[in-house]
Amino acid sequence: MKWKKFKIKTVTDAEDIIISTLYDIGLEGAQIEDKVPLTAMEKEQMFVDILPDGPEDDGIAYLSFFVEEAEDGTLTVNGEEKTEEEILSQVKEELESLRMFCEIGEGSIAVDETEDIDWINNWKKYFKQFYVDDILIIPSWEEVKEEDKDKMIIHIDPGTAFGTGMHETTQLCIRQLKKYVTPETELLDVGTGSGILSIIALKMGAKHAVGTDLDPCAVPAVEENKEVNGIIPESFDMMIGNIIDDKEVQDKVGYGCYDIVVANILADVLVPLTPVIVNQMKPGAVYITSGIIDDKEPTVVDAVKAAGLEILEVTYQGEWVSVTARKQA
């Protein structure tokens, strides 16, 4: 299958209205390229990985729309066959109409042809099985080799939204969980994403896990990964919402009932999270944090100490840091 790509040069302020307008004529799934910095909320919703500072926003945006192309060169939009010229004419007409009442910038349209692309699954070729010490983490679509069948095996399918466990911050958390999980462990996993940390803890023998996340996509991701790893459904519960400032989420998660809290998220989120999450921890509970770039270590350590927790250990992998602490017994 081939696709025609219609790429519009515009300005960032016009992104939403152009996408909405062209959606009405059957062009869906816009790919957006711009230099707009991530908002604080967008950073919170990312699963751990921290992007470097990007180039300064120049106000320019490129919107690409992909239309399926048949072997005979015809294009299909909303189930109707159209020529490239017909689509171009319609897009130009819509852009000129928008230009009458809002700034859309250059508004030029470039047309290109691209080969068959599976945007949803193409990333999978980069995710291969790997070890974290003696734990084998393997994509759900790969077969376990005979020589690996006696290992602890974690099948994971992060979907398109969450981490795989390959990132250093996740591996730092896994190694800390290995030190502290017991058969009596009640675990709270803040920013659970694909559920990998909770699933590993449960496979290590933890009694029960609760995961929280801001992204509703975490629910199906966790359910799929629970099933493929043979996790008893009632041993791992998921909740969507911001535990930092949502009293309803805090109440549902519960107070004073967790032996371990693991939070593999951004340092800037750990600072406001820490004084809140101590209320969910039992006396003597362990707090494992990561997602901390090395120059943010003092900030997180100070926040942990200010919340009345005792620093047990600070561990490192590459430029990433994990801070582990304990609540007073």
Q: For residue 28, what are the β-bridge partners?
A: none
Binding site residues for S-adenosyl-L-methionine, as ranges? Answer: 170, 191, 213, 264
CB 99 within 8 A of CB 108: no
Q: How many degrees, rounded to 5, is the angle at CA 49 between CA 47 and CA 53?
A: 130
Of the candidates 102, 88, 112, the residue with the CA atom closest to the CA atom of residue 25:
88
Q: Which helix (H) or strand (E) holds 87?
A: helix 84-99
Largest Cα span, the chain:
73
Annotated binding site: 170, 191, 213, 264
What are all long-range contacts of 179-185, with beta carbons under 8 Å and residues at least 24 apart?
A: 180/259, 180/260, 180/286, 180/288, 181/205, 181/206, 181/260, 182/206, 182/259, 183/207, 184/259, 185/259, 185/260
Closest C-alpha to 217, from 232, 202, 200, 195: 195
d(CA 308, CA 285): 12
104: tokens are 């859309």
**Would you say 324 and 301 are in contact if contact means Cβ atoms under 8 Å apart?**
no
Distances (CA, A) of 323 to 188, 263, 299, 300: 16, 10, 11, 8
Q: How far is CA 243 from CA 4, 177, 246, in A?
A: 44, 21, 5
Q: How many DSSP H helices and E strands does the chain contain? A: 9, 16
Region of 26 on the Ramachandran plot (φ > 0 left; ψ -120 to 50 alpha; else beta): left
